[in-house]
A and B are shown apart, each in its own frame.
Chain A
Amino acid sequence: MTTMRRRGTYLRHAALVGVSAIMLVPFYWVLKTAVTNENIYAYPPRLLPERPHLFNFVDVWYFIPFPRYLLNSVIVSAIVVACNIAFNAMAGYALTKNFPGKRAVLLLFLSCMLIPFQATIIPAYLITSKLGLLNSYVGLAFPLLSTIVCIFVFKAAFEAVPHSLVDAARIDGLSEWRIIVRVLMPLSKAAIATNVVLAFIWSWNAFLWPLIITREPTMQTLPLGLARFLSYLEDTTGALYAFAVMVLAPSIFVFLMAQREFIRGLTSGATKG
């Protein structure tokens, strides 16, 4: 029995190692290409990098307006993350209360979850253009400023805070704003982390929307810069892959730092009830 079980364990490990290896191959291949300058079209390709170096990364920094793309991406992500925390916490707090029309608001939120943003691009472009926000940071960030999943994450976190604490704060004369900022938010750190991680990943990776509403390179974000770089150089240079590594690094870092919050946020819409 035990030997059979042990053999089962080995088989499982073998299968999972295989799966992991396949999942990791693309990471390895892009890293390898990013640190080499050999003729990448030679056949057979080398499996190990020959004389690895980091010059490609330097090239990316200087040959294209990488710092500009980076600045734009950081600004847009910062707006998105900050607004998400404020807006979602406010809406989540409102939903913990009873008010006429609450069912309608809930239903609206839940049905909005079924509308993919990509299905709205034509009117969204026209609306943004009417608002005069084309080619602006606010326009880039606007559709991402609030996220339904995160509203529900905040709602659940606030509902978990003991009522007595909120009541005590109210008796002490704290206003509703202060109750959120001073009492509820400090007790909902996990929800905040979830929100930060999700909002960052979504804004950092967004491509279609910036592609539609930015016309000038000075307003473009990193994904657009990467796509432009690709169209200039095709697949001919290690610098392209160095660029890819540079934009992937932050999302991988954020994910590894906050794995639990990230997964919790993604599945929280799915697992309740």
Chain B
Amino acid sequence: MMPATGEAAGRQGGWWQRKRTRDLALIACFLLPSLTVFFLYRVLPLGWNVLLSVQYWSPLKPARWAGLDHYEEMLLYDDVFWQSLTNTLIFIGAAPFAIALALGIALLVNSDLKGAAVYRSIVFLSYPLMTVAVGIIWRWMYDERGGIINFALRASGLITKPIPFLQSFDWALPSVIVAEVWQVLGFYMIIILTGLQSIPQHLYEAASIDGAPRWAQFWRITLPMLKPSLFLCAVVGILNSFTSFDLVYIMTNGGPGHATELLITYIYKSGFGQTKFDYAAALTVVQFILLLALTYLANRAAGGNAGSLEHR
């Protein structure tokens, strides 16, 4: 287009300027509600946690600088912290086994098998359930007398005396983990299935022509191509150590003793049971650092930028 006269161009420019400003204002308006939610309930709490963790603070009292006192108390004198940290790590350590199981099921389901969709739905069905109800169901399954697990074990002659799973120091944590795996297994499976479906079929065809056996195809093609999905599963597994609060609270409430105490249940108890908000904040910071470190390690193991945010 030919340049207009100076006056007209100026007017045009002003018009564009105003339209641009109006568009930007509109975009800001559109983003505002979501940004408010995330600022108030994600970003601000993260910073506030760090601040609280270096203060002496409780409701109705002015804050005092505490430095690293809370961390010192936690790391040097608090046995419950170490126990819940160990339990949390065991909890996370069970994830790879669950993911391997989900991988097996996904491989079975991912084929032209008749009824594959039905199996898929059944395995996934437990994921969207209310965790409180899941906890209640599993309490009942583990029950000493009325529970089906003890019944099955006794009927098959594996044990002679019923095991009080959730009241036992040895069994309580594994029992809770089994219930957790039951609920999340379908989610792992779906993530892996999505990954499997994105592997180009011609890779397998080429390998078959070259005479590569099935297991070699699995190790050389399927597993490497699944790395991003497996990484995502690992992240879900790590995050579950936070989100499994509901399950632990209902099934054992951290007991017996602190045998099933996770960091998140300990955070809740410190904060809202004993109103030690400052100490609970320090615990949260430690758990969050743990989460970031493990996610970083999982990312490294998956080959660097498997979950890289820029690639989304």
Contact = CB atoms under 8 A, between A and B. Distances in A.
Contact of B288 (A87, A119, A235, A262): A119
B280 A90 contact: no
Interface in A77-120: 83, 86-88, 90-91, 93-94, 97, 99-100, 105, 107-112, 114-120
Contact of A207 (B41, B46, B128, B131): B131
Return the 9 tightest CB-CB contacts between A and B, nearest first: A120-B45, A123-B45, A123-B48, A94-B30, A90-B30, A273-B311, A146-B34, A91-B34, A143-B41
Contacts, number: 264
Contacts of B62: none
Interface footprint category on A: 35 or more
Interface in B19-61: 23-24, 26-27, 29-31, 33-35, 37-38, 40-46, 48-49, 52
The binding surface of chain B is classed by DSSP as helix
Interface stretch (B86-94, B136-144, B216-224): B136-144
A271 B271 contact: no
B226 interface: no
A16 B146 contact: no
B98 interface: no
Interface stretch (A38-46, A48-56, A185-193): A38-46
Interface in A235-257: 235, 240-241, 244, 247-248, 251-252, 254-256
Interface of B: 23-24, 26-27, 29-31, 33-35, 37-38, 40-46, 48-49, 52, 105, 108-109, 111, 113, 115, 119, 121-126, 128-134, 136-141, 143, 145-148, 151, 154-155, 182, 185-187, 190-191, 194-195, 198, 228-229, 232, 239, 242-243, 245-246, 249-250, 264, 267-268, 271-272, 277, 280-281, 284, 287-288, 291-292, 295, 309, 311-312
A259 B122 CA distance: 11
A267 B245 contact: no
Interface stretch (A57-65, A161-169, A223-231): A223-231
